[in-house]
Amino acid sequence: MRADDGVVLVYITFPDLIVAERTVRHAVAERLAACGNLLRGVNSIYRWKGAIETAEEVLVLLKTTESRVESLRAAVLAVHPYEVPEFVITPLTGGNPEYLDWVRDCVT
């Protein structure tokens, strides 16, 4: 891990709780993420193949580091059932230093 390894928040949507939980457990077990929050009942409205679609999804928020993002992305995309999964990375510009250190420790 780099000394300046920044903590990031990764957003991913899943079609159901089973797939989301299985993916998050794997990411945490493999030290690809420190933790994940699963938010059920997210209503998504989006354009897909020319039509406006609506779906109830599970939103997952994963905390990891910049150096682990590509490994996490590869692991998620390998098992994700969507044709084009959401995988959005947001760098964190601050936070509780002890928490951010904990995230870094969990993924090394």
Q: For 36-57, how does the pLDDT look when each residue is reduced to its tens digit (9 = 90+)?
A: 999 999 999 999 999 999 999 9
Closest CA to 60 of 21, 90, 7: 21
For residue 40, what is the enclosing H or E element?
strand 35-48
pTM: 0.92
| 2 pLDDT tier (thresholds 50, 70, 90) | very low
